[in-house]
Amino acid sequence: MKNLLGVEELTREEMERILERAQSFAEVGRRDIKKVPTLRGRTIVNLFYEASTRTLSSFELAAKRLSADVVSVKSAGSSVDKGESLKDTVATLSAYDPAAIVIRSPHAGAAGLVARWTEASVINAGDGKHEHPTQALLDVFTLRQRLESLAGTNIWIVGDVLHSRVARSCLLAFQKMGAKVTLCGPPTLIPRGIEALGCDVAYDLDRLGEADVVYALRMQLERMSESFVPSLREYASRYQIDSRRLGPRQLLMHPGPVNRGVELSPEVIDSPQSLMTAQVESGLVVRMAILYELLAGTDRARPERGPAPAGTPTIGQPA
Protein backbone atom coordinates (compact mmCIF):
# COMPACT_ATOMS: atom_id res chain seq x y z
CA MET A 1 0.00 0.00 0.00
CA LYS A 2 1.41 3.34 -0.97
CA ASN A 3 -1.48 5.69 -0.31
CA LEU A 4 -4.64 5.76 1.77
CA LEU A 5 -7.08 7.74 -0.34
CA GLY A 6 -10.39 6.21 0.63
CA VAL A 7 -12.13 3.22 2.16
CA GLU A 8 -13.47 2.45 -1.29
CA GLU A 9 -10.03 1.35 -2.50
CA LEU A 10 -9.23 -0.65 0.65
CA THR A 11 -9.58 -4.41 0.76
CA ARG A 12 -10.80 -6.21 3.82
CA GLU A 13 -7.31 -7.70 4.22
CA GLU A 14 -5.67 -4.28 4.19
CA MET A 15 -8.15 -3.09 6.79
CA GLU A 16 -7.45 -6.12 9.00
CA ARG A 17 -3.71 -5.51 8.76
CA ILE A 18 -4.09 -1.89 9.86
CA LEU A 19 -6.44 -2.87 12.71
CA GLU A 20 -4.03 -5.56 13.96
CA ARG A 21 -1.13 -3.14 13.86
CA ALA A 22 -3.25 -0.60 15.75
CA GLN A 23 -3.90 -3.22 18.40
CA SER A 24 -0.18 -3.68 18.98
CA PHE A 25 0.31 0.09 19.18
CA ALA A 26 -2.48 0.23 21.74
CA GLU A 27 -0.35 -2.05 23.86
CA VAL A 28 2.70 0.21 23.39
CA GLY A 29 0.49 3.08 24.50
CA ARG A 30 0.07 1.51 27.89
CA ARG A 31 3.82 1.63 28.55
CA ASP A 32 5.54 4.56 30.22
CA ILE A 33 7.64 5.33 27.18
CA LYS A 34 5.18 5.49 24.37
CA LYS A 35 7.59 6.29 21.57
CA VAL A 36 8.98 3.80 19.04
CA PRO A 37 11.82 4.55 16.63
CA THR A 38 10.20 3.19 13.48
CA LEU A 39 10.10 6.38 11.43
CA ARG A 40 13.18 8.12 12.82
CA GLY A 41 14.62 10.51 10.21
CA ARG A 42 11.49 10.49 8.04
CA THR A 43 9.39 13.60 7.51
CA ILE A 44 5.62 13.79 7.55
CA VAL A 45 3.79 16.86 6.28
CA ASN A 46 0.28 17.61 7.44
CA LEU A 47 -1.37 19.86 4.86
CA PHE A 48 -4.68 21.09 6.24
CA TYR A 49 -6.98 23.29 4.20
CA GLU A 50 -9.75 23.09 6.77
CA ALA A 51 -9.87 23.69 10.46
CA SER A 52 -9.38 20.51 12.45
CA THR A 53 -8.64 19.78 16.07
CA ARG A 54 -8.79 16.07 16.60
CA THR A 55 -7.64 14.79 13.22
CA LEU A 56 -4.66 17.13 13.02
CA SER A 57 -3.53 16.68 16.63
CA SER A 58 -3.98 12.95 16.33
CA PHE A 59 -1.85 12.78 13.17
CA GLU A 60 0.83 15.00 14.71
CA LEU A 61 0.99 12.87 17.82
CA ALA A 62 0.92 9.61 15.85
CA ALA A 63 3.90 10.77 13.76
CA LYS A 64 5.79 11.84 16.89
CA ARG A 65 5.13 8.54 18.64
CA LEU A 66 6.77 6.90 15.61
CA SER A 67 9.75 9.31 15.91
CA ALA A 68 9.08 11.05 12.60
CA ASP A 69 9.69 14.77 12.03
CA VAL A 70 6.40 16.57 11.52
CA VAL A 71 5.49 19.81 9.82
CA SER A 72 1.91 21.00 9.82
CA VAL A 73 0.84 23.54 7.21
CA LYS A 74 -2.54 25.14 7.65
CA SER A 75 -4.23 27.20 4.99
CA ALA A 76 -4.64 30.30 7.15
CA GLY A 77 -1.45 32.35 7.10
CA SER A 78 0.29 30.17 4.51
CA SER A 79 1.03 30.59 0.81
CA VAL A 80 -2.36 28.98 0.18
CA ASP A 81 -3.83 32.22 1.51
CA LYS A 82 -1.83 34.02 -1.13
CA GLY A 83 -3.52 32.08 -3.91
CA GLU A 84 -0.98 29.34 -4.49
CA SER A 85 -2.52 26.37 -6.24
CA LEU A 86 -2.68 22.96 -4.62
CA LYS A 87 -0.34 21.63 -7.30
CA ASP A 88 2.31 24.27 -6.59
CA THR A 89 1.99 23.86 -2.83
CA VAL A 90 2.49 20.12 -3.18
CA ALA A 91 5.53 20.66 -5.40
CA THR A 92 6.99 23.01 -2.78
CA LEU A 93 6.40 20.65 0.11
CA SER A 94 7.61 17.66 -1.90
CA ALA A 95 10.97 19.41 -2.23
CA TYR A 96 11.53 18.53 1.45
CA ASP A 97 11.33 14.89 0.41
CA PRO A 98 8.64 13.93 2.89
CA ALA A 99 7.78 10.27 3.44
CA ALA A 100 4.12 11.14 3.64
CA ILE A 101 1.74 14.01 3.03
CA VAL A 102 -1.44 13.99 5.08
CA ILE A 103 -4.00 16.20 3.42
CA ARG A 104 -7.34 17.60 4.41
CA SER A 105 -9.19 19.60 1.81
CA PRO A 106 -12.69 20.99 1.38
CA HIS A 107 -12.79 19.39 -2.09
CA ALA A 108 -13.49 15.82 -3.15
CA GLY A 109 -10.59 14.13 -4.88
CA ALA A 110 -7.90 16.47 -3.52
CA ALA A 111 -5.93 13.62 -1.93
CA GLY A 112 -6.01 11.68 -5.19
CA LEU A 113 -4.62 14.67 -7.06
CA VAL A 114 -1.85 15.14 -4.50
CA ALA A 115 -0.91 11.49 -4.95
CA ARG A 116 -0.43 12.16 -8.66
CA TRP A 117 1.84 15.11 -7.98
CA THR A 118 4.18 13.76 -5.30
CA GLU A 119 6.40 10.76 -4.70
CA ALA A 120 5.45 10.77 -1.02
CA SER A 121 2.75 8.51 0.34
CA VAL A 122 -0.54 10.36 0.60
CA ILE A 123 -3.08 9.98 3.35
CA ASN A 124 -6.54 11.42 2.93
CA ALA A 125 -7.55 13.16 6.16
CA GLY A 126 -10.86 14.22 4.63
CA ASP A 127 -11.61 15.43 1.10
CA GLY A 128 -14.74 17.50 0.79
CA LYS A 129 -17.86 15.48 1.48
CA HIS A 130 -16.26 12.47 -0.15
CA GLU A 131 -14.18 10.32 2.21
CA HIS A 132 -12.50 10.36 5.60
CA PRO A 133 -10.91 6.92 5.68
CA THR A 134 -8.86 7.28 8.85
CA GLN A 135 -12.02 8.19 10.77
CA ALA A 136 -13.79 5.10 9.44
CA LEU A 137 -10.85 2.87 10.36
CA LEU A 138 -10.69 4.24 13.89
CA ASP A 139 -14.44 3.74 14.23
CA VAL A 140 -14.16 0.11 13.15
CA PHE A 141 -11.26 -0.33 15.58
CA THR A 142 -13.31 1.19 18.39
CA LEU A 143 -16.26 -1.08 17.68
CA ARG A 144 -14.08 -4.15 17.51
CA GLN A 145 -12.79 -3.38 21.01
CA ARG A 146 -16.39 -3.82 22.16
CA LEU A 147 -17.99 -6.23 19.74
CA GLU A 148 -15.29 -8.64 18.60
CA SER A 149 -16.83 -8.76 15.15
CA LEU A 150 -19.00 -6.44 13.10
CA ALA A 151 -20.47 -9.27 11.03
CA GLY A 152 -24.26 -9.11 11.17
CA THR A 153 -24.25 -5.99 13.33
CA ASN A 154 -26.95 -3.41 12.68
CA ILE A 155 -25.50 0.08 12.50
CA TRP A 156 -27.60 3.22 12.10
CA ILE A 157 -25.88 6.37 10.91
CA VAL A 158 -28.14 9.28 11.85
CA GLY A 159 -28.13 12.90 10.76
CA ASP A 160 -26.80 15.05 7.93
CA VAL A 161 -25.62 12.31 5.59
CA LEU A 162 -25.61 14.64 2.57
CA HIS A 163 -22.73 16.78 3.85
CA SER A 164 -20.84 14.06 5.69
CA ARG A 165 -17.65 12.42 4.46
CA VAL A 166 -17.66 10.44 7.71
CA ALA A 167 -21.00 8.89 6.77
CA ARG A 168 -19.68 7.78 3.38
CA SER A 169 -16.44 6.29 4.65
CA CYS A 170 -18.06 4.64 7.66
CA LEU A 171 -20.82 3.17 5.50
CA LEU A 172 -18.24 1.54 3.23
CA ALA A 173 -16.01 0.40 6.09
CA PHE A 174 -18.83 -1.05 8.20
CA GLN A 175 -20.16 -2.90 5.15
CA LYS A 176 -16.73 -4.29 4.32
CA MET A 177 -16.57 -5.67 7.86
CA GLY A 178 -19.93 -7.39 7.40
CA ALA A 179 -22.29 -4.97 9.14
CA LYS A 180 -25.71 -3.94 7.88
CA VAL A 181 -26.02 -0.17 7.66
CA THR A 182 -29.07 2.09 7.74
CA LEU A 183 -28.74 5.78 6.94
CA CYS A 184 -31.29 7.94 8.70
CA GLY A 185 -31.99 11.65 8.52
CA PRO A 186 -34.28 14.31 7.13
CA PRO A 187 -35.15 13.55 3.45
CA THR A 188 -33.46 16.81 2.48
CA LEU A 189 -30.18 15.59 3.93
CA ILE A 190 -30.11 12.07 2.47
CA PRO A 191 -28.47 12.15 -0.97
CA ARG A 192 -30.61 10.91 -3.85
CA GLY A 193 -29.32 7.55 -5.07
CA ILE A 194 -27.34 6.60 -1.95
CA GLU A 195 -29.25 3.28 -1.71
CA ALA A 196 -27.10 2.14 -4.63
CA LEU A 197 -24.33 1.66 -2.09
CA GLY A 198 -26.32 -1.20 -0.58
CA CYS A 199 -27.62 0.49 2.56
CA ASP A 200 -31.12 1.03 3.91
CA VAL A 201 -32.56 4.50 4.22
CA ALA A 202 -34.95 5.70 6.93
CA TYR A 203 -36.47 9.13 7.46
CA ASP A 204 -37.47 8.68 11.10
CA LEU A 205 -36.18 6.93 14.19
CA ASP A 206 -39.17 4.59 14.61
CA ARG A 207 -37.08 1.47 13.99
CA LEU A 208 -33.98 2.72 15.81
CA GLY A 209 -34.51 -0.14 18.29
CA GLU A 210 -33.12 -2.53 15.64
CA ALA A 211 -29.73 -0.90 15.85
CA ASP A 212 -26.83 -2.40 17.77
CA VAL A 213 -24.84 0.76 17.17
CA VAL A 214 -26.11 4.30 16.73
CA TYR A 215 -23.66 6.56 14.96
CA ALA A 216 -24.79 10.19 15.18
CA LEU A 217 -23.42 12.81 12.78
CA ARG A 218 -22.66 16.41 13.50
CA MET A 219 -25.50 18.73 12.49
CA GLN A 220 -23.86 21.78 11.01
CA LEU A 221 -25.59 24.91 12.08
CA GLU A 222 -25.21 26.64 8.72
CA ARG A 223 -27.57 24.07 7.18
CA MET A 224 -30.44 25.94 8.79
CA SER A 225 -29.92 29.01 6.65
CA GLU A 226 -29.93 26.84 3.50
CA SER A 227 -33.37 25.54 4.48
CA PHE A 228 -32.37 21.90 4.56
CA VAL A 229 -34.30 21.71 7.82
CA PRO A 230 -36.75 24.30 9.11
CA SER A 231 -35.21 24.70 12.55
CA LEU A 232 -32.79 23.13 14.98
CA ARG A 233 -35.74 22.64 17.28
CA GLU A 234 -37.62 20.53 14.74
CA TYR A 235 -34.44 18.64 13.87
CA ALA A 236 -33.72 17.85 17.49
CA SER A 237 -37.30 16.77 18.14
CA ARG A 238 -37.16 14.25 15.28
CA TYR A 239 -33.55 13.07 15.20
CA GLN A 240 -31.84 13.82 18.49
CA ILE A 241 -30.45 10.74 20.19
CA ASP A 242 -31.46 10.99 23.82
CA SER A 243 -31.84 8.60 26.72
CA ARG A 244 -35.43 7.94 25.74
CA ARG A 245 -34.46 6.79 22.25
CA LEU A 246 -31.15 5.09 23.04
CA GLY A 247 -31.66 1.62 24.47
CA PRO A 248 -29.44 0.28 27.24
CA ARG A 249 -27.70 -2.27 25.02
CA GLN A 250 -27.07 0.10 22.13
CA LEU A 251 -23.65 1.65 21.61
CA LEU A 252 -23.36 5.33 20.71
CA MET A 253 -20.72 6.90 18.49
CA HIS A 254 -20.08 10.39 17.12
CA PRO A 255 -17.13 11.71 15.11
CA GLY A 256 -17.04 14.98 17.04
CA PRO A 257 -17.21 17.79 17.67
CA VAL A 258 -20.69 17.45 19.16
CA ASN A 259 -23.41 20.08 19.18
CA ARG A 260 -24.71 19.29 22.62
CA GLY A 261 -28.48 19.38 22.70
CA VAL A 262 -28.81 19.14 18.92
CA GLU A 263 -27.87 15.71 17.57
CA LEU A 264 -27.17 14.30 21.03
CA SER A 265 -28.69 15.09 24.39
CA PRO A 266 -26.15 15.82 27.15
CA GLU A 267 -26.99 12.73 29.16
CA VAL A 268 -26.23 10.23 26.37
CA ILE A 269 -22.87 11.89 25.67
CA ASP A 270 -21.79 11.07 29.19
CA SER A 271 -23.53 7.69 29.35
CA PRO A 272 -21.62 4.41 29.57
CA GLN A 273 -22.89 3.48 26.10
CA SER A 274 -21.02 6.38 24.57
CA LEU A 275 -17.78 5.40 22.84
CA MET A 276 -16.76 8.94 22.03
CA THR A 277 -13.66 9.06 24.23
CA ALA A 278 -12.64 5.63 23.03
CA GLN A 279 -12.93 6.91 19.45
CA VAL A 280 -10.40 9.65 20.15
CA GLU A 281 -8.01 7.15 21.78
CA SER A 282 -8.40 4.83 18.81
CA GLY A 283 -7.67 7.70 16.49
CA LEU A 284 -4.12 7.92 17.72
CA VAL A 285 -3.22 4.22 17.46
CA VAL A 286 -5.03 3.72 14.16
CA ARG A 287 -3.22 6.66 12.60
CA MET A 288 0.08 5.28 13.92
CA ALA A 289 -0.82 1.97 12.31
CA ILE A 290 -1.63 3.66 9.00
CA LEU A 291 1.65 5.58 8.95
CA TYR A 292 3.45 2.35 9.82
CA GLU A 293 1.65 0.38 7.13
CA LEU A 294 2.43 2.95 4.43
CA LEU A 295 5.95 3.92 5.45
CA ALA A 296 7.76 1.31 7.54
CA GLY A 297 10.03 -0.95 5.58
CA THR A 298 9.67 1.17 2.45
CA ASP A 299 12.64 3.39 3.03
CA ARG A 300 12.60 4.87 -0.39
CA ALA A 301 15.55 7.09 -1.01
CA ARG A 302 14.75 9.93 -3.34
CA PRO A 303 15.41 8.64 -6.86
CA GLU A 304 18.26 10.22 -8.77
CA ARG A 305 16.98 12.95 -11.01
CA GLY A 306 17.35 11.30 -14.38
CA PRO A 307 15.64 12.21 -17.60
CA ALA A 308 11.91 12.68 -17.33
CA PRO A 309 9.96 9.47 -17.90
CA ALA A 310 8.43 8.98 -21.30
CA GLY A 311 5.14 10.74 -21.71
CA THR A 312 5.98 13.53 -19.31
CA PRO A 313 4.85 16.75 -20.90
CA THR A 314 7.46 19.36 -21.54
CA ILE A 315 6.99 23.01 -22.23
CA GLY A 316 5.13 23.64 -25.44
CA GLN A 317 4.02 20.07 -25.73
CA PRO A 318 0.65 19.39 -24.22
CA ALA A 319 0.19 16.13 -22.40
Partner 1 sequence: MNVSANGSDGGAEAPKLVSRPAPGANLIVKGVRVLDPRTGIDAVRDLVVRDGEIAEISEPGGAPEIERAEVVDGDGLLALPAFVDPHVHFRVPGQEHKEDLETGTRAAAAGGYCAVIAMANTAPPIDSAAVLGSVRDRAEREASIPVGFVANVTRGMAGQELTEMAELAEAGAIGFSDDGLPIANARVLRRALQYQRLAGGVIALHEEDPDLSARGVMHEGEVSAALGMAGVPAVSESTTIARNCSLALYEGARIHVQHLSARASVEEIARAKAAGVQVTCEASPHHLALTDEAVRSLDARFKMNPPLRTEDDRQALIEGLRDGTIDCVATDHAPHASEEKEVPFEEAAMGVTGLETAFAALYTDLVLPGVLPLELLIERMTSGGEPFGIEAPRLETGALANLALIDPELTWTVGEEGYESRSYNSCFGGRELTGRVLMTVAAGRVAFRQRSFALGVAS
Q: Is the dihedral of CA 161, 163, 165, 166 positive or negative?
A: negative
Over the window 50 to 89, marking each residue x when it contacts partner 1 by CB under 8 A and - when it does not, the resulting string is: -----------------------------------xxx--
Q: Does 187 bind partner 1 (CB under 8 A)?
A: no
Task: With beta carbons less than 8 A apart as the criterion, state whether 123 and 101 touch.
Answer: yes
Helix (H, G, I), strand (E, B) or coil at 194: helix
Closer residue to partner 1 in complex, CB, 106/266: 106
Closer residue to partner 1 in complex, CB, 127/139: 127
When binding is defined by CB under 8 A, the residue of 19, 59, 112, 211 that contacts partner 1 is: 112
Q: Minimum distance from CB of 203 to partner 1 (Å)? A: 16
Query: Of all helices (H) and strands (E), which one includes residue 157?
Result: strand 154-158
Q: Please state, in angstroms and rounded to a whole number, the distance separating the CA atoms of residues 103 and 105.
A: 6
- Per-position DSSP letters for 85-106, written without gaps between them: -HHHHHHHHHTT--SEEEEEES
Q: Minimum distance from CB of 255 to partner 1 (Å)? A: 15
Closer residue to partner 1 in complex, CB, 70/90: 90
Strand partners, 154: 180
Closer residue to partner 1 in complex, CB, 98/112: 112
Helix (H, G, I), strand (E, B) or coil at 44: strand
Total residues in contact with partner 1, by rule CB under 8 A: 27
Sheet strand arrangement including 180-184: 200-202, 180-184, 154-158, 213-216, 251-253
Over the window 148 to 167, marking each residue x when it contacts partner 1 by CB under 8 A and - when it does not, the resulting string is: ----------------xx--
List residues near partner 1 by CB under 8 A. Answer: 85-87, 105, 107-110, 112-113, 127-131, 164-165, 168, 191-194, 196-197, 317-319
